[in-house]
Amino acid sequence: MTKISVKDLGLMDYGAAWELQESILGEVVKSKQLQTADNSAGHFLLVEHPHVFTLGNSGKADNLLVNEEFLKSKGASYYKTNRGGDITYHGPGQIVGYPIINLEAFGIGVREYVFRLEEVIIAVLKHYKIHATRLDGATGVWLDVQDKMKSRKICAIGVRVSRSVTMHGFAFNINTELDFYQLINPCGFTDRGVTSLAKELGYKIDIEEVKRSVIENFKRIFECEING
């Protein structure tokens, strides 16, 4: 069975986590090229970031509604990244997942990979008796998609794939400070909301419990063995 190494990085600066991802991606690509026979397909990093806004390579800079000086006054930083998607926010209380995996080891392409990431989050939310689904034409995990006035995103997804190896990933709002989303058009949307698990349930969530659920559902949906 394909093996994935999982590591919880705790609270880490976005730039440092990005640099770590690039380093691990290089190792996974090299292992793939050497056809290493240890059945290892990569790594799955879990992390929380200090307040930061990131813009994808297909995003529009004007979806950031304030200037960088204002962001600094709020204790937030800003990065233009090499992932797909538009602008999003990361901060404490949010689970950010960075799978750095060889898709060829799973026999899947990018579209199926994103579908499975969404499925992981949908399964976690089902455990909390929240019905979540996808929104046609958009990535991520949403609630009440049938009602545009009520629809809201609870998990954003933006990935990059290089030589069939993934990086970046998902941002799952758990106890997230949602006021920060007022500073952007989240993922480029101006007519849909953003929510968190805590807001939906009405109480602060044990984030470690959610992480365990994420890992278990990742293992099940990607049919892999988890180390670490």
CA distances 26 to 120, 165, 168, Å, are 26, 9, 14
Q: Nearest to residue 6, comparing CAs of 40, 39, 49? A: 40
Q: How many CB atoms lie within 10 A of CB 143?
A: 19
Q: Indicate which residue of 187, 194, 197, 214 is catalytic.
A: 187
CA distances 170 to 27, 97, 214, Å, are 21, 5, 11
Instruction: State the SS3 of 194-208.
Output: ECCHHHHHCCCCCHH
8 A C-beta contact, residue 47 and residue 98? yes
**Under DSSP, is residue 92 helix (H, G, I), strand (E, B) or coil?**
coil
8 A C-beta contact, residue 194 and residue 151? no
| Cα(45)–Cα(168) distance, integer angstroms | 10
Helices 207-221 + 110-127 axis angle, to 10:
130
Query: Could you tell me the two tokens for 174?
Result: 């758990």
Residue 155 known to be catalytic: no
Active site positions, annotated = 187
